[in-house]
Structure 1
Amino acid sequence: MTRILIVEDDAELGELLVRAFAGAGYDADLARDGQAGLHRALTRSYHALIIDRGLPAIEGLDLLARLRRSGVEAPALILTALGTVADRVAGLDGGAEDYLVKPFELDELLARVRVLLRRPAAPAGHVLPIGDAEFDLIARTVTTDDGLPVTLSGRESDLLRLLAENPARVFTRREIVTTVFPESSTETLADTYVHYLRRKLGPDVIATVRGAGYQLGRR
């Protein structure tokens, strides 16, 4: 059975989410603070994580960062009342694959988790070449010429993986959004995350093919 960890300090909401996921056929565990969530995630294997951002003991993004450093790679969705663009970017850059603002509809949350669970796992040979650099799919890092790893967010990693696994192919903005952001129809997300990757890895990491889209660049 698919196992979900929910880290939510609101007792009523937490129990509601456990019942909703159990009713949908999942095995759902609930932790009510960041410390309890850290313990559960490090002692049991989960297929997906749902983490409230405003947690006691360990704040949600700090919790996720600790889990990523400890090798926990289950896809994560951040739940929060903080809904500005800057907040969403911080959540995605902090290692989350998705970000949902409260209040939300249960059906949408369940749908987003289904999308997370459909994402392919990293292959056994989990390092891809990006020009002269190496892209570690599990650690979500790109090691450049200076030997220093650059950490990517979940969505940045998904986009770079799409291009790196198909280096000769040009992807339209629509294809990128459909693959990397399946819950969205906003094509400008492709442009935004190309900008994020260029900012982190250099302007040549992704090439713009005028009138067509984007493909892996030459570094």
Structure 2
Amino acid sequence: MRILLVEDASLLRQQLKMGLERAGFVVDDAADGKTGLFLALENDFDAAIIDLGLPEVDGISIIRKLREAGQQYPVLILTARGDWQDKVAGLDAGADDYVVKPYRIEEIQARLNALMRRAAGFASPVINAGPVSLDTAAKRVCVGEREVDLTAFEYRTLEYLMLHPDQVISKTELTEHLYAQDYDRDSNVLEVFIRRLRQKLDPDQTLQPIETVRGQGYRIRAMSA
């Protein structure tokens, strides 16, 4: 999942970015509101984390301009303890949730996962597509009663597909949301990951949980057999 992080405090930004990347997120970061707003409007993120007290363009203005431009991805705001007026203003501008500083990285991760699930229409942390179930909280995948051991990238690929059921996801979209900017984005590599994922989920080739739509991409059906 690709996350936008806009935070002017250098140490906090780097710590949060590193923590999110260790958890499997791809993170684009900005140290000021002007750069953050540009990134927010020009890219398709899965979620954004925005500090409210930013130089050049404040966080509330970023959120408001995002929503005015039609960007609907979830926004988590960072606020100082006790600044309830800022929390209200951020939510009124279009933010979806807030975290009070100081925070723990585990709380940020949990709130991001919850926001992205809800944005995709899922209330429960467990997402199902036929016999395939994916627990976004425990990062666990099962096919029926069988737990499937996936690599981090295989898990992220499956998670993205299952958060977009019945949608054809192009290779370009998958690489943009799953690879870092400086990663060698070779579509043949993605095909290898998809093939390995299919083999692990469906070793007998009876379920066919991931469908290839020729010339367009991949799709998981919400009620796949």
TM-score, normalised by the number of residues in structure 2: 0.51
Task: Report SS of the residue matched to 1:45.
Answer: coil
Does 2:94 align with 1:92? no
Please name the residue that 1:66 is paired with: 65
Please name the residue that 1:28 is paired with: 27
| Deviation for aligned residue 1:120 | 3.6
Q: Percent identity?
A: 46
Q: How many residues align?
A: 121
1:88-127 mapped onto 2 (5 Å cutoff): 88-121=87-120
Task: Report SS of the residue matched to 1:5.
Answer: strand
| Deviation for aligned residue 1:85 | 3.2
The amino acid across from 1:65 in the alignment is R
Please name the residue that 2:53 is paired with: 54
1:1-219 mapped onto 2 (5 Å cutoff): 2-121=1-120
Looking at structure 1, the residues matched to 5 and 11 of structure 2 have their Cα atoms a distance apart, in angstroms, of 13
The amino acid across from 2:113 in the alignment is R
| Deviation for aligned residue 1:82 | 4.9
Q: Does the 8 A contact of 2:33 with 2:58 survive in 1?
A: yes
| Deviation for aligned residue 1:71 | 1.3
TM-score, normalised by the number of residues in structure 1: 0.53
The amino acid across from 1:114 in the alignment is N
Point out which structure has higher relative CO (alpha carbons under 8 A, 6+ apart): 2
CA RMSD, Structure 1 to Structure 2 (Å): 1.4
Looking at structure 2, the residues matched to 103 and 22 of structure 1 have their Cα atoms a distance apart, in angstroms, of 19
Looking at structure 1, the residues matched to 120 and 71 of structure 2 have their Cα atoms a distance apart, in angstroms, of 13
Q: Does the 8 A contact of 2:79 with 2:87 survive in 1?
A: no
Looking at structure 2, the residues matched to 24 and 47 of structure 1 have their Cα atoms a distance apart, in angstroms, of 15
| Deviation for aligned residue 1:17 | 1.0
The amino acid across from 2:5 in the alignment is I
Task: Report SS of the residue matched to 1:25.
Answer: coil
Looking at structure 2, the residues matched to 73 and 38 of structure 1 have their Cα atoms a distance apart, in angstroms, of 14
The amino acid across from 1:48 in the alignment is A
Looking at structure 2, the residues matched to 19 and 87 of structure 1 have their Cα atoms a distance apart, in angstroms, of 27
The amino acid across from 1:26 in the alignment is F
The amino acid across from 1:95 in the alignment is G
| Deviation for aligned residue 1:106 | 1.1
Q: Does the 8 A contact of 2:52 with 2:58 survive in 1?
A: yes
